Structure formats: structure tokens, C-alpha cells
Amino acid sequence: MFVIRLITQLKYTTMKTIKLTLLFCLITTLAFCNISTKEKNALLAICNATNGENWTVSWNTNTPVSTWNGVTVEQDKVVALDLSFNNLVGTLPIEIGDLVNLRTLNLFRNKITGFIPSSIGNLVELQELNIAFNSLEGNLPNSIGNLNKLVKLELFMNRLEGNIPCTISGLINLEKLEMFNNDFHG
């Protein structure tokens, strides 16, 4: 009788251990659900192109993307990137256009130079774009007109120049447009 009870107890303990182990694995997997490789590579390209190791608050790329400063992930998609006041120094890489689920992009008050890549027009879910108070130059890309959901567009205090693209007139949801202290005409 003792042996049967011992075997039953061992089976119960073993099953309990297996269930707890499976539960732990499930929780761990869910906690580390991650974004697509394309989105992660886009974030890493931004980090590399803007001297990420010297940001005010840098990313620990060995941790889940959802824990990175300024990155908001919902349902395994990057939906917001707020790196304002974070000492980004460098240029915006073309890969920024791979963050196609972004609703908010805030790069306000950094030291970003160079041109706004035309791939910015791929961010068709974007509602807020703030790249003001940097040192961006060149023309505003025509692809800006693809951002039909844009409500706020802040470009002020840069070195942007040239004609304002006529595609901007297609931004029918735009409520706030700030472009002062640039060299636009048209």
C-alpha cells in the first residue's frame, strides 16, 4: 500500500512540476514576444545612424524592444517612437520607413542633420510627426503627402528649404502645421 501511495504522490508531484514548467515557459515566451525583424533592424539603424551609444538614455539591445526607452510596442508592432531631447547626433536612415505601424514619431530637439528620407512616406499610419529643432536640410520630400492620417506636423527650427511640395495639400486630417524658421517658399 505504501509503495502505491508513493508512486501516486510521485506522479502528482511530477505532473505539478511539468505544469509549472510549462506555465513558466509560456509566461516567458509572452513576456519576450517581439516585433518583426524588419522593425527591429529599422530601430537599430536609427540607433547606429544617430550615435546611439552616446544618447542621453541609450538602448540595451540585449533586452526586449518593448523595454527600450521611447519605444512603444502594441500587439508586437512599434506604434510610437519618442526620442525627443535624447542627444541624437547624425542622420535619419532610409530604414526609418520600415516602421510602418508608427502612429507617433517624435525626434524633437536633437542634433539630426542631413535630409529627410523619402521613405518617411511609408509611415502611412502616422498621426504625429515632430522633427523640429534639429539641423535637417534640403527639401521636404514629396512622399510626405502619403501621410493621410497625419494630424500634427512639426518641422520648425531646421534648415529645410525649397518649395513646399503640393502633395502636402492632401493631408486632409492635418490640424497643426508648424514650419517656421526654415527657408521654404511656394
Tens-digit pLDDT profile for the chain (186 aa)?
Answer: 655 665 667 566 665 655 554 444 434 434 445 899 999 999 999 999 999 999 999 999 999 999 999 999 999 999 999 999 999 999 999 999 999 999 999 999 999 999 999 999 999 999 999 999 999 999 999 999 999 999 999 999 999 999 999 999 999 999 999 999 999 987
Q: What is the DSSP letter of 100?
A: T
Residues 94 and 15 in one domain: no
Domain with 17 in it: 1-31
Note whether 12 and 97 are same-domain residues: no
Instruction: Please count the structural domains in the chain.
Output: 2
Q: Are residues 90 and 128 in the same domain?
A: yes
91 close to 48: Cβ distance less than 8 angstroms? no
Whole-prediction pTM: 0.83
* d(C-alpha 103, C-alpha 108), whole Å: 16
Within 8 A by CB and 6+ apart from 155, the residues are 131, 132, 136, 140, 178, 179, 182
Distance CA 28, CA 132 (A): 39
